[in-house]
Chain A
């Protein structure tokens, strides 16, 4: 049970290990707060859609399962989109089209196809929660690194000294690729060390 939850955080981390959902990962992480809100919206969608799909998994005909998953996911994405628009207008505006685009985040469809449609409700919930949190953590880390170097702040708080020159490249797309690549590398290095020690 616990394993279902924990694997999303580390061993099967959606960003660093499965490399899924690259579009929001690269596009919205110019600031830590954007990464956090995108991560939370995605977590909400993946958790809710996993629960619903797991509930009705016996009634979904095999041939039309993908369209059905997509409709269910789209419902929750619309809800998340309107929630952000109503309560956090600034963030919604900054995230732009990437909130509606959660529909096509392969992480969510992947969980539905690989886990929720085959397992019970509670396990699907834990699995989706783990994946969502793993995704959120990755986006926050990525966003924080890019924000520190690109703007000298984290979550809007100034952390760099006064004379610090912003590395503008970090908030450009190139910075996203650089940071993501390095993080995946570091992740693999740490992972390798852990698995060697275990043996």
Chain B
């Protein structure tokens, strides 16, 4: 008889680990990256490469400094770098992208204790930092394909400061000015489909976020069609889809309970539309997600699911 081996639990280990999740996000980003490469050519290559390299280097150095095991292999730094590149304008000087990448990992993640301990989404935090540090470079947009040296504005910027005739086909395919990865709704929807199919993200946050934006903008469009753009414009333009699919669903910085996720998504949608309509900036996706990130611990505490056997209303 063979020797009986006795082990302590767990006996069954799920194949879903950090690396698996990150790989899934990277695959989901393939369409967006491809579109950015097609529309912004060498700019996209440079920014993506610099940003990813910066994040990986910063992660390695940060974990060495903190005396922790180096876990660059879990690909989370690569995802942060790629997401950061997706939200940067194409013509940003590369050293700024590098600085942002280092800031994302060191200030956004390592300083809180590494992956899983951060309060804010690192990529968006870095973008907010760059936005505050270099406002001109972060709002200089390039024409797609022609890569005109002449700068252009994003559709949201054009609509905010004057009448704008939107071409919805361009918005859907991504043939407009904007950050590298945010222009093409089609590519982002493909990514969303993949993430949902692989169950890497939950449908609640994107649905609540996008739903809030659509409902709000529909109501306002019917109240005053001359003052507000139609809902499909607010859905397709700007970083809404990128934010709702890849940023707001960050498992570390978003709530974990189903009810909490609804609240989180609705909050993001509200803040986004408030900034877009009445704020000083044309786009509010970044700040809305960072804003709701800050509330995540509170939402987690508030939206606890009812425990089995507990009576409603009693603790």
Chain A contacts to B: CB under 8 angstroms: 165, 167-170, 172, 174, 178, 185
Contacts and interface: CB of A to CB of B under 8 A. Distances in A.
B99 to A, nearest CB: 9
Nearest to B103: A178
Interface in B145-196: none
Most A C-beta atoms less than 10 A away, residue of B96, B132, B135: B132
7 contacts: A165-B93, A165-B96, A165-B137, A168-B132, A168-B133, A168-B134, A169-B133
Contacts of A185: 111
A186 to B, nearest CB: 12
Interface string B108-146: 000100000000000000000100111101000000000
Contacts of A167: 133-134
Nearest to A178: B107
A174 B93 CA distance: 23
**Secondary structure class of chain A's binding surface, majority of residues:** helix
Contacts of A172: 132
Contacts of A174: 132
Nearest to A168: B133
A172 B129 CA distance: 11
Nearest to A167: B133
A158 B227 CA distance: 48
Interface of B: 93, 96, 107, 111, 129, 132-135, 137
Given A168-B135, A174-B132, 11 more contacts: A165-B93, A165-B96, A167-B133, A167-B134, A168-B133, A168-B134, A169-B129, A169-B133, A170-B133, A178-B107, A185-B111
A169 B135 CA distance: 9
A112 to B, nearest CB: 36
B105 to A, nearest CB: 15
Most A C-beta atoms less than 10 A away, residue of B96, B107, B111, B133: B133
A170 B111 CA distance: 19
B187 to A, nearest CB: 31
B42 to A, nearest CB: 22
Contacts of A165: 93, 96, 134, 137
Nearest to A172: B132
A174 B107 CA distance: 13
A169 B96 CA distance: 13
Contacts of B134: 165, 167-168
Contacts of B133: 167-170
Contacts of A169: 129, 132-133
Contacts of A168: 132-135
A172 B93 CA distance: 22
Contacts of A170: 133
Contacts of B135: 168
A196 to B, nearest CB: 13
A165 B107 CA distance: 21
Nearest 9 pairs of A and B residues by beta carbon: A169-B132, A169-B133, A167-B133, A168-B133, A174-B132, A172-B132, A165-B134, A169-B129, A168-B135
Nearest to B65: A189
Nearest to B130: A169
Nearest to A181: B111
A171 B210 CA distance: 36
Nearest to A173: B132
Contacts of B96: 165
A167 B100 CA distance: 12
Contacts of B107: 178
